[in-house]
Chains A and B, each alone.
Chain A
Amino acid sequence: MPRLSYRKALTRALADELARDSDVFLLGEDIRVAASNVTAGLLKKFGPERVIDTPLSEQAFTSFATGAALAGLRPVIEFQIPSLLFLVFEQIVNHAHKFPLMTGGQCAVPVTYLVPGSGSRTGWAGQHSDHPYSLFAHVGVTTVVPATPADAYGLLVSAIRCDDPVVVFAPAGALEVRADVDDLAPVPLGRGVVRRAGDDVTVVAVGHLVHDALAVAEELTGEVSVEVFDPRTLYPFDVDGLVDSVSRTGRLVVVDDSNRSCGIAAEIITSVLERVRLAAPPRRVTRPDGAVLPFAPALDRAVQPGRDQLTAAIHLCMKDGS
């Protein structure tokens, strides 16, 4: 079985879609020399008409992509840093997302917004360390956060083929993950997966935190039987899949790298509570409210959800109601 890195999986997905569909093209900053290493080799293979370096004009090139999509192409934009999504929030939410309805169904806007290295990249401080996926789930733009190389490939492929705008967050904490991958295939949008079966509690983990949740689950073996659910897509959320898991375990803990207030954890918990009577109050481990990541590494870590916090939350959840 070939071992594949998460980053290489993204490259493979881009290469395969560029080869499969001549309407697909890439836009972004420093993507020809592949500064992020995600577009490595693509200029050579597909040429400068399909791999386009842009000036630093994010708002314009994001809406330029919307226009190209209205005219039948399938643009993929690479954003160098997650906070650029704040800069182009207007273009994505107020234009790309709204055009189909506002035009009475006259158009589709199949643009993919790819952020390789979302969340903290230790040492990049306040303006480069955000993880704003909950914002996109809130406005209802399809939002995926792959955790594994196979999903990075499969979800990016599905995002590019989707007729709606899709934001793909590739967390910095997952980019170096490697795995044996048998067969690369599209992964359906909106479908979660149980990463580890367990009986006592369901832990929902988002993105790179899936790996932390699996490690914690392993550590607790013999003490607590932890099921780990990876939603993969945050909007639309696989509520049925999660309800299925929680109906068996009766307990729910969510670990999520969003800010706490109005973060995706709150939505996940509510969606379950609407359908399942839990044996204990649900718990969530998140960034604090209003988080700004401080520069110093120990402070940066202190603001992100950690394994110790997850372990503590699982213990509390197990103690409650028993």
Chain B
Amino acid sequence: MTDDPVRLYRTVRLIRRFEERAIELVRSGHIVGGIHPYLGQEGIAAGVCAALRGTDLVTGTHRGHGHVLAKGADPARTMAELCGRETGSNRGRGGSMHAADFSIGVLGANAIVGAAGAILTGAVWARRRRGDDVVGATFFGDGAVNEGMLLEAFNLAALWRVPVLFVCENNGYATTMPVQGAVAGTITGRAEAFGMPAAVVDGQDPERVRDATAAAVARMRAGGGPELVEARTYRFDAHHTFEHSVRLDYRPPQEVAAGRERDPVVIQGDRLPEATRRIVDAEVEATLTAAVEFALAGPHPDPAGALDHLYASGLVARTGGG
């Protein structure tokens, strides 16, 4: 299965420039609370989602803008969400770490490391039980593989043969903790222990990620159980934008420089004629300029609606005043 290389390039480029624009908006104070930039890891979200259907389900992480955009979220409404506007995908209630769009199968980024895998497993299981031909992909970092709840999700998914692709984005660090200091055994070995097929893939090459995902998804659609892909990658920027003002000393500069050399946007861009690339770049720029304009033009939510949607049942909470 192949996807148009131009589309794949467009996705990684879109995520790259989206993150760069978002960082500018953090600096200008329009995005409050900062973000966890996905810079350098774009090839994973782009490659995985290129091998999924629109109806398939995904969950993302705290570093989640790329996952949401690759699955097809509107950049304008996503940016508006980051800016906390009523026009955002979550009406400004979720922000960077909770961007969600159920209409395209994005059941949300999740701010608790390791927590989303079990949620996605349950969602895919339920949809299939109702007869829908869907599979799922859940993204998580190398830090998450040491969380009990994720390993418990591996077991449930494998035991009940739920077609979920567990996508580990191994960027070498959980905040400042290097993988070697945190992971006993291996990441793929964890999956294998539950009888799940597991593969390591070059996360900097969007086409390799896509191909690995496509192969796994084909097996899953044919009745196979869950699988794991460990995508080796490197985070080009800070763990979180707070690091732009507070220097944390944990990655040697030479390592960062070497890590940045294998750039998914360049790797995929080199597969396109220069003229095509220029056209895509211009389209992406126009999309993001419009997205930022849309985001900043959106109204701020009215504080009177601070508890909107708290209860789906219509229950109205007591307020906290005297």
A→B interface (CB under 8 Å): 29-30, 32-33, 35, 37, 53, 55-60, 83, 87, 121-128, 253, 260-261, 283-292, 294-299, 301-303, 305, 309-310, 312-314, 316-317
Question: Hey, which chain A residues are within 8 Å of B147, CB to CB?
Answer: 56-58
Structural contact, B98 and A35, CB atoms closer than 8 A: no
15 more A-B residue pairs beyond the given contacts A60-B148, A296-B95, A299-B305, with a C-beta to C-beta distance below 8 A: A33-B250, A55-B177, A56-B114, A56-B182, A57-B147, A57-B148, A123-B32, A285-B322, A288-B319, A288-B320, A296-B92, A298-B301, A299-B92, A299-B93, A309-B320
Q: Which of B110, B147, B321 has the most CB of A within 10 A?
A: B321
Structural contact, B246 and A285, CB atoms closer than 8 A: no
Kindly state the separation between the CA atoms of A174 and B223 in the bound complex, as whole angstroms: 55
Structural contact, B320 and A286, CB atoms closer than 8 A: yes
Residues of B in contact (CB 8 Å), total 51
When C-beta atoms are compared, the residue in chain B nearest to A59 turns out to be: B148
Kindly state the separation between the CA atoms of A182 and B25 in the bound complex, as whole angstroms: 43
Structural contact, B306 and A299, CB atoms closer than 8 A: yes
Structural contact, B306 and A302, CB atoms closer than 8 A: yes
Question: Hey, which chain A residues are within 8 Å of B146, CB to CB?
Answer: 55-57
Per-residue contact bits, chain B 95-129, to A (CB 8 Å; 1 contact, 0 not): 11110000000000011111000000000000000
Structural contact, B320 and A295, CB atoms closer than 8 A: no
Question: Hey, which chain A residues are within 8 Å of B33, CB to CB?
Answer: 121-125, 295
Structural contact, B93 and A87, CB atoms closer than 8 A: no
Structural contact, A299 and B301, CB atoms closer than 8 A: yes
Known A53-B181, A55-B174, A296-B92: A303·B307 in contact at CB below 8 Å: yes
Known A29-B177, A57-B146, A296-B92: A128·B320 in contact at CB below 8 Å: no
Question: Hey, which chain B residues are within 8 Å of A253, CB to CB?
Answer: 322
Determine chain A's interface SS by DSSP, over half rule: loop
When C-beta atoms are compared, the residue in chain A nearest to B92 turns out to be: A296
Q: Which 8 A-B pairs have the closest CB atoms?
A: A123-B33, A313-B322, A295-B95, A296-B84, A123-B32, A55-B182, A302-B303, A55-B146
Kindly state the separation between the CA atoms of A310 and B110 in the bound complex, as whole angstroms: 34
Can you spell out 6 A-B residue pairs with CB atoms less than 8 angstroms apart? A125-B96, A126-B93, A289-B317, A294-B92, A294-B93, A296-B301
Structural contact, B176 and A30, CB atoms closer than 8 A: yes
Question: Which of A37, A121, A124, A298 lies in contact with B246, CB distance below 8 A?
Answer: A37
When C-beta atoms are compared, the residue in chain A nearest to B174 turns out to be: A56
Question: Which of B85, B148, B246, B301 lies in contact with A294, CB distance below 8 A?
Answer: B301
Question: Which of B85, B98, B114, B250 lies in contact with A125, CB distance below 8 A?
Answer: B98
Question: Hey, which chain A residues are within 8 Å of B143, CB to CB?
Answer: 55-56
Structural contact, B176 and A32, CB atoms closer than 8 A: yes
Per-residue contact bits, chain B 246-265, to A (CB 8 Å; 1 contact, 0 not): 10111000000000000000
When C-beta atoms are compared, the residue in chain B nearest to A58 turns out to be: B147
User: Which residues of B, 119-152, contact A by the 8 Å Cβ criterion?
Assistant: 143-144, 146-148
User: Which residues of B, 22-48, contact A by the 8 Å Cβ criterion?
Assistant: 31-34
Question: Hey, which chain A residues are within 8 Å of B249, CB to CB?
Answer: 33
Structural contact, B322 and A294, CB atoms closer than 8 A: no
Determine chain B's interface SS by DSSP, over half rule: loop
Structural contact, A123 and B34, CB atoms closer than 8 A: yes
When C-beta atoms are compared, the residue in chain A nearest to B86 turns out to be: A296
Question: Hey, which chain B residues are within 8 Å of A289, CB to CB?
Answer: 317-318
Question: Hey, which chain A residues are within 8 Å of B32, CB to CB?
Answer: 122-123, 297
Confirm or deny: B21 has a beta carbon within 8 angstroms of a beta carbon on chain A: no
Kindly state the separation between the CA atoms of A120 and B96 in the bound complex, as whole angstroms: 16
Question: Hey, which chain A residues are within 8 Å of B175, CB to CB?
Answer: 29-30, 35
CB A77 to nearest CB in B, in angstroms, measures 15
CB B226 to nearest CB in A, in angstroms, measures 21
CB A176 to nearest CB in B, in angstroms, measures 14
Kindly state the separation between the CA atoms of A103 and B81 in the bound complex, as whole angstroms: 52
CB B97 to nearest CB in A, in angstroms, measures 6
CB B71 to nearest CB in A, in angstroms, measures 20
Structural contact, A126 and B320, CB atoms closer than 8 A: no
When C-beta atoms are compared, the residue in chain A nearest to B305 turns out to be: A299
Kindly state the separation between the CA atoms of A30 and B34 in the bound complex, as whole angstroms: 19
Structural contact, B176 and A294, CB atoms closer than 8 A: no
When C-beta atoms are compared, the residue in chain B nearest to A123 turns out to be: B33
Structural contact, B113 and A56, CB atoms closer than 8 A: yes
Kindly state the separation between the CA atoms of A312 and B321 in the bound complex, as whole angstroms: 9
CB B246 to nearest CB in A, in angstroms, measures 7
Structural contact, B318 and A83, CB atoms closer than 8 A: no
Question: Hey, which chain A residues are within 8 Å of B34, CB to CB?
Answer: 123
Question: Which of B92, B94, B114, B319 lies in contact with A126, CB distance below 8 A?
Answer: B94
Kindly state the separation between the CA atoms of A284 and B318 in the bound complex, as whole angstroms: 12
When C-beta atoms are compared, the residue in chain A nearest to B303 turns out to be: A302
Kindly state the separation between the CA atoms of A225 and B32 in the bound complex, as whole angstroms: 38
Question: Hey, which chain A residues are within 8 Å of B31, CB to CB?
Answer: 123
Kindly state the separation between the CA atoms of A313 and B250 in the bound complex, as whole angstroms: 49
Structural contact, A87 and B322, CB atoms closer than 8 A: no
CB B234 to nearest CB in A, in angstroms, measures 19
When C-beta atoms are compared, the residue in chain B nearest to A282 turns out to be: B322
Question: Hey, which chain A residues are within 8 Å of B148, CB to CB?
Answer: 57, 59-60
CB B28 to nearest CB in A, in angstroms, measures 14
Kindly state the separation between the CA atoms of A144 and B262 in the bound complex, as whole angstroms: 49
Question: Hey, which chain A residues are within 8 Å of B159, CB to CB?
Answer: none
Question: Hey, which chain A residues are within 8 Å of B174, CB to CB?
Answer: 29, 55-56
